[in-house]
Amino acid sequence: MAKKILIITESGDTTADKVSQWLDHFGADFDRINSDHIPLLLEAVVISQNNDTQLLFSYKGKRLNLMEIYNLIWFRRGSIFVKDFGNSEIKNAAFPDDELLNNSFSNYKQSEANTLIDFVYEQIEKKVRTINIPTGYEVNKLSTLAEAKNVGFLIPETIITSNKDVIKQKLEVDQYITKAIKDSFFCLTNNVFLTQGTEEATIEDLLKDESHFFFPSLFQKKIDRKCEIRVFFILGKTFAAAISFYDEMNQPVDIRSGINDYGEDRMVTSIKLPVDVEHKLLRLAKNLKLESGSADFMITNDYEFVFLEINPVGQLDFLSVLSNQFIEREIAKILIENAKEEIKYPEPS
């Protein structure tokens, strides 16, 4: 008989809300923990010569044995916390007013906690079937781009530089886009939400500033696209949709930033990925040790797939609703099925 399913996430996760509703509908035995509300706490780790390593957790003040209760854990968002890590009594008592020492001690405590929690996730992966691990919530986009090329995907020509001379030598065409190397900046201040997206840039734009050097920035050759493809994947299953615009001549550079202005002109259509594209994507996910996430592609005017990036958390609300795929229902089915059997990673041919 299957054990329970555990979803670890946050209170504002609408995807987890809908998946939970479907799990209820199917009569599944599951729990959900919102780690930003009442977190799952690590109480202790016991490493013994004669016994298996023990991980002791508590939730709402009660002891919780993850390994005995749950057969599948989906780390959708959120994480496990070390109990009393933020205890104010753990501080620099020798020289309490020494700012350098206080900062060094704070960094030391964080390093200790990170080492401990990394070991805990490693042990959980060995003993319980998991979908993603919080240490994998963030992937290096540059490493992902390089690995996408290795599995056979086309990728945009990309340059990261802080030197105008490199721009003059390496940028061979006039039209480029620029975006964050890691994640987009955002800040809510004075009732104004400031953020960055993907912006178009020309060589003239890049060279007109008087400064010879600038902060390291990422530039990619602009691709004339027919549409963009968003793919959500989980445990070897894929759900894809094409995002395009009726007015192809006036598409926004960044579809996400253009939603408000172009929403009525936008089309979202469910599609089936070509077999070779799906196989490459699943191979890439396996190489990145991701069981779930969202991948973005562009379709060129020659109908070629160009890989852009992967988001391990996987935004899928709009994809599910606008493409009429009911992805949350399918995720619930996948969770139930994989709580019964050992997780198997497909081996794309």
Residue 254 or residue 177, greater confidence: 177
Task: Report yes or no: 134 and 124 within 8 Å, Cβ to Cβ.
Answer: no
The predicted structure's pLDDT at residue 248: 59
H helix intervals, the chain: 14-25, 66-69, 99-127, 141-150, 164-170, 203-207, 259-262, 275-287, 317-322, 327-340
* Percent of the chain surpassing pLDDT 70: 85
Task: Reply yes or no on whether the pLDDT at 349 is more than 80.
Answer: no
User: How far is the C-alpha of 300 from the C-alpha of 224, rounded, in Å?
Assistant: 6
Q: Which of 82, 77, 74, 179 is nearest to 137 (CA)?
A: 77
Instruction: Give this prediction's pTM.
Output: 0.84
Average pLDDT over residues 274-281: 97
Task: Reply yes or no on whether the pLDDT at 285 is more than 90.
Answer: yes
Average pLDDT over residues 317-321: 86
Task: Reply yes or no on whether the pLDDT at 202 is more than 80.
Answer: no
User: How far is the C-alpha of 127 from the C-alpha of 115, rounded, in Å?
Assistant: 19
Average pLDDT over residues 150-166: 89
User: How far is the C-alpha of 258 from the C-alpha of 239, rounded, in Å?
Assistant: 23
Average pLDDT over residues 4-20: 94
The predicted structure's pLDDT at residue 343: 46
Task: Reply yes or no on whether the pLDDT at 321 is more than 90.
Answer: no
Average pLDDT over residues 99-115: 86
From first CA to last CA, the distance across the chain in angstroms is 33
Domains and CATH numbers, the chain: 4-135 (no CATH), 157-221 (no CATH), 225-340 (3.30.470.20)
Beta bridge partners of 31: 6
Lowest-pLDDT choice from 145-154, 252-261, 275-284: 252-261
The predicted structure's pLDDT at residue 273: 96
